[in-house]
Amino acid sequence: MVKINRLLLSFLLIALGCDFVPNEEDFTVVNQPDISDVSLTLNTATDTISLYQTKESKCSLNGVGILESVTFVLIDSDSILVSDSRNSFFTINVNQLGTGSHKLHITSIFSKRTNSLAGKLGLELFSISREWPIIIDIDPPTPVQIISVENSGGKLNLIWNKYQRVNFQNYYLTKRCYDSPQSTSFTGCKNLIFSDKNITQYLDTEYTTGKVEYIISVQASNQIVSSSPYVYID
Amino acid sequence: MFSQNFSVSIGSGIATYSMKSLKNFDQSIVATDFMGLKPSLTDNFPPYVYYHGEASYTNNKTIYGISITHGSTGSRTTYGDYSGKIFRDNLVRYNAIGLRLGQVFVSKKNFIISANARASGIFNRLRVKERLDIAGSSIENSTRYHSLNFGLMPFFSGEYIFNKIFISFDIGYEYQITGRVFVNNEDKLYIVDQNNNEIYIDGRGVRAIVNLGYRFNKK
């Protein structure tokens, strides 16, 4: 009798626990979307951002068929902007960051129209990230020196050291002309500006004879430092 | 052997279900262009296990019984790809109370065959469950319905008796009169398809079951 009761109880337990549950699943093969046309660009021409002063920057998310996007901009892991626009504007504040190497990291999460279920619902999300090194130099410039002044066929060829740091703005070349080698007060003056850091020489075609003095100055981090005067007497 | 006796039994069997109305509704969903995606009907009210318990009284080859039955079936319309899945499940469950009237027409020492009919009140529950799974998140919505059908099932029963224990095998076909399918707690709302035709839970079909029972002989 006990065995029968157990058997009946087993039947009852089975009866209570076995309702129909659909378990089949469809799987349709859909090609995953191509996002190789999507890119993040910055309004800086170079891969490295060199700064000596605070700069407004613009990051653009480019690509076809992008529906919505959120862009996160971080410098050294600190968030500085979250934007839902395809074009994100932000400020790199050099005074906050200070002189040294930093890292700009930009990630965009975006949805794109695709042929998948999530794509049809506008819920398929993709991510693209890029990093740019930032080199900031806001320290005062170090002076460059005139290495040599040589007479070449009646013209004076000046050569100076190249300024090596990233905060370069301009070279200023000052020329002072004197009436005689003994004279201490100059009679004429000429100033030239070179905005290319790689220019390290100047051919003075206006030199005739006598005493001239050259001073090369560097403007960097919005400050100017000058070399020692270089005196040339023919 | 059965001049007068009382018995109880429980059993488990297989039932098929017509569900013509719900199947047509599912087919119309499959045929619908869902934002350019093509869903599939992966389950379509298949035959499924049902359970039955009965108390019966036999008096001079006539069988009187009262029974309860529980069964279930369902369907699934689904679409899935690498990005996610969408499901629409129709889950039908029912409980029935039945009255049996039978007549034994073959009687051997330990074996009898009877012809029977069972009239039932069938309380159906339909749960329409929709689920969207995308990126590890799930959104689910479900609506519950109910209906009352009346069933009549002619069936044959073969019974083998070991002392007081018996095993029986019943097979028959249940006809049903379908009732309106109402939304739960909204007894004025009922279910229709896109063409405004009423949808019914039509559980007619074959019933085949094995029962295990105990017989109390009356002296």
ipTM: 0.86
Extract the tokens encoding B116: 């029977």
DSSP per residue over B59-121, as a string? ETTEEEEEEEEEEEEEEEEEEEETTEEEEEEEEEEEEEEEEEEEEEEEE-SSEEEEEEEEEEE
pLDDT of residue A15: 55
Chain B within 8 Å of A11 (Cβ-Cβ)?
yes
The answer to whether the CB atoms of B80 and A32 lie below 8 A apart is no
Chain B residue with CA closest to A119: the answer is B83
Mean pLDDT over A208-225 rounds to: 90
* Mean pLDDT in residue range A134-161: 91
Q: Which of B74, B84, B132 sits opposite A22 (nearest CB)?
A: B74
The pLDDT score that the predictor gives to residue B136 is 84
Query: Predicted confidence band at A35 (pLDDT cuts at 50, 70, 90)?
Result: confident
Of residues A14 and B70, more confidently modeled:
B70
Phi-psi region of A222 (alpha: psi -120 to 50; beta: other; left: phi over 0): left
CB contact under 8 A, A117 and B11: no
Residues of chain B positioned with their CB less than 8 A from the CB of A22: 42-43, 74-76, 87, 89, 91
A40 Cα to chain B: minimum distance (Å): 24
Q: How many CA atoms lie within 13 A of A90 on its CB side?
A: 23
Cα Rg for chain B, rounded, in angstroms?
Answer: 21
Shortest Cα distance, chain B CAs vs residue A108, angstroms:
18
Q: Does A117 contact B43 at a Cβ distance shorter than 8 Å? A: no
Residues of B in contact with A29 (CB under 8 A): 81
Confidence grade of residue A23 (pLDDT, cut at 50, 70, 90): confident
**What distance in Å separates residue B111's CA from the closest CA in chain A?**
20
Residue in B78, B82, B91 nearest the CB of A26: B78
Q: Contact A121/B89, CB-based, under 8 Å? A: no
Which of B70, B80, B82 minimises the CB distance to A25?
B80
pLDDT tens by residue, A76-114: 989 999 999 999 999 999 999 999 999 999 999 998 878
Nearest-angstrom CA–CA distance, B12 and B52 = 6
B54-75: per-residue pLDDT in tens?
Answer: 999 999 899 999 999 999 999 9
Q: List the single residue in B10, B89, B135 with the smallest CB-CB distance to A22.
A: B89
Chain A residue closest to B75 (CA)? A22
Q: Which residues of B74-105 are buried (b: 16+ CB within 10 A; e: fewer)?
A: bbbbbbbbebbbbbbbbbbbbebebebebebe
Whether the CB-CB separation of B84 and A118 falls below 8 Å is answered with yes
Give how far B195 is from chain A: nearest CA, Å.
26
Flag whether residue A22 sits within 8 Å of chain B, measured between CB atoms. Answer: yes
Q: Does A127 contact B at CB distance below 8 Å? A: no
The model's confidence at residue B1, banded by pLDDT at 50, 70 and 90, is: low
Chain B contact for A12 (CB, 8 A cutoff): yes
Gap from B144 CA to chain A (nearest CA, Å): 16
The answer to whether the CB atoms of B42 and A25 lie below 8 A apart is yes
Largest CA distance in chain B: 73
Structure token digits, residue B43: 């389950």
Indicate the range of A45-54, A83-92, B81-90 predicted with least confidence: A45-54
CA distance B142 to B136: 20
Is the confidence at residue A26, as pLDDT, over 70?
yes
- Are B76 and A24 an interchain contact pair (Cβ–Cβ within 8 Å)? yes
